Amino acid sequence: MAQYAPPLRDLHFVLHELLDVAGELKQLPRHAEIDQDTINAVLEEAGKFAAEVIFPLNISGDREGCTLDKATRQVSTPKGFKEAYAQYVEGGWPSLSSAPEYGGQGLPVVLNQCLFEMLNSANQAWTMYPGLGHGALECLNAHGTAEQKALYLPKLTSGEWTGTMCLTEAHCGTDLGLLRTKAEPQPDGSYKLTGEKTFISAGDHEMVPNIVHLVLARLPDAPPGIKGISLFVVPKFKVAADGSIAERNPIFCGALEEKMGIHGNCTCTINLDGASASLVGQPNKGLAAMFVMMNAARLGVGNQGLGLTEVAYQSAVAYAKDRLQMRSLTGAKAPDKAADPIIVHPDVRKMLLTARAYAEGARALAVHIALLIDKELSSDDEAVRKDCADQVALLTPIAKAFLTDNAWIATSHCMQVYGGHGYIHEWGMEQFVRDARINMIYEGTNTIQALDLLGRKVLGDNGAKLRKFGKLIAEFVEEEGTNEAMQEFVNPLADLGDKVTKLTTELGMKAFANADEVGAAAVDYLRVCGHLVFAYLFARMAKVALAHKDGGDPFYTAKLHTARFYFAKLLPETASLMRTVRSGAAPLMAMDEALF
């Protein structure tokens, strides 16, 4: 069976030793009272909820899935999901980092990040229900009217209601400019929406009395393409002026998607049959408003990749220490047993260390981004806010794509550690692989993230955001330039930084002549940048571990081993990636379509 224990020791390391989160928060008036003890207490309770309440529902929820009553058009979630959600609300977890003016606790985003890492490890399908509600809250808080905020934000903050994002349609995919859902203005200032949305996560369920759908649609006079998209709030049940639930709105689950993974989450087709709605933000400016929720979701999906990487790693390590098969190539390591545990074999260790390194690098990056968001939201220094916003913009597509690509690799490796048992449902490993695969697709495929990184975030501002991150690397390299113990980490980091600068310049020149060069290079370029970010974070983690290497704590010894493995076995991937980037668009675009 799969195993999971909250990784509190590594979370403490990242929060307190690597990033000094408590010290950083003290510079923000809103969070100046947050200290390590508060952070640790929240993490401990969050870990208990994840491990003891929702992790036991993961395999059973995957097996059972959701069901649709066609007569009532009501979806039911797997056994135990509703009760677990009630415990989640009772514990105050939905309101953890939400604004106090709507009933939130006002704690920093970085704590919410750690909570959701553990929830995603424990049960990604379940975690998507509260996760999407949090995104809807952020979007309405940024763009809703005073009336919309008063009606919806208190209930979304408390978790009494959940939310969804209804973006795409069967013929659209990522190209939302093609959507056809219509919004007809009404005499009272409201709208009636008609159309069909697809792939809607958490689209319907019985865990809460109301669901707040955020829906993209077109007004009658809307211009074509993405410039003609408006955003609307469409509750499952209409809401009276006093906040009470009124009659059913004609927005229904039309069908459940029969999908590869995340069976416990209701991914469905949503039919709108003249559903009553109100406009969010300005007409024809809906996509820009929706990006608040979409960017939050992209970071959330990266966090899903981290969560699955961690739980798969933990399970595979436990299995590898127990499973006996063959003898070590260098002689028996367990002579009293019929065979050695498979953890003695080099390739098993390579698979385990790959998953471990990708989990630890992802955790450092996810917490780093969350801290940047806290500073962007709460600093009283405008320059700090701008700098943090730029870094978050640069790192968001990397977090979404690199962490989910790595999760696919890591969960596949961890399933392989189990051999034939990994392919069997009861062990839990094949579920992690299936669940991980969707994370590379939704909230913008990883190719879309790569195009966003290279086209918008790097070339779009002539490399300004990338240079800001490069400055952090340069400063760190200069600080550690004379530290002999750090050379094995600093030298490859500095070398890769220089190579990324040169590669980016080359791509910028090519793009002027042929835009397909961006499309051809983007995916591999993002992966190179992902490794650059991980190399920087692993070098910093190694510095902390080296400072404690003589203290006898095995945690720091393991951290150093993992950093060395990353630099020796994973970072060299960048060499082949840069070669494929430089090979250009010609090998992809030269062949005539008829020859495919």
Alpha carbon distance 27, 15 (integer Å) = 16
Alpha carbon distance 449, 396 (integer Å) = 8
Length of the chain, please? 596
Q: For residue 459, how many other CB atoms are within 10 A of its CB?
A: 17
Q: For residue 225, how many other CB atoms are within 10 A of its CB?
A: 11
Any idea which residues carry the catalytic annotation?
A: 443
- Is the sign of the CA dihedral 446, 451, 452, 454 positive or negative? positive
Domains of the chain, each with CATH number or no CATH? 8-154 (1.10.540.10), 162-289 (2.40.110.20), 299-587 (1.20.140.10)
- 479: tokens are 């600080």
Burial of 456 by CB count in 10 Å (0-12 exposed, 13-18 middle, 19+ buried)?
middle
- Is the sign of the CA dihedral 301, 306, 312, 315 positive or negative? negative
Alpha carbon distance 539, 564 (integer Å) = 9
Torsion of CA 536, 432, 40, 363, to 10 degrees: 10
pTM metric for this prediction: 0.97
- Detail the DSSP E strand segments found in 220-341: 230-235, 237-239, 245-248, 251-256, 268-280
pLDDT tens digits in sequence order for the chain, 596 residues long: 899 999 999 999 999 999 999 999 999 999 999 999 999 999 999 999 999 999 999 999 999 999 999 999 999 999 999 999 999 999 999 999 999 999 999 999 999 999 999 999 999 999 999 999 888 999 999 999 999 999 999 999 999 999 999 999 999 988 899 999 999 999 999 999 999 999 999 999 999 999 999 999 999 999 999 999 999 999 999 999 888 999 999 999 999 999 999 999 999 999 999 999 999 999 999 988 888 878 888 999 999 999 999 999 999 999 999 999 999 999 999 999 999 999 999 999 999 999 999 999 999 999 999 999 999 999 999 999 999 999 999 999 999 999 999 999 999 999 999 999 999 999 999 999 999 999 999 999 999 999 999 999 999 999 999 999 999 999 999 999 899 999 999 999 999 999 999 999 999 999 999 999 999 999 999 999 999 999 999 999 999 999 998 888 999 999 999 999 999 999 999 999 999 999 999 999 999 999 99
Alpha carbon distance 67, 76 (integer Å) = 5
Strand partners, 255: 269
Alpha carbon distance 323, 507 (integer Å) = 48
Per DSSP, 33 falls in state: T
Alpha carbon distance 147, 346 (integer Å) = 62
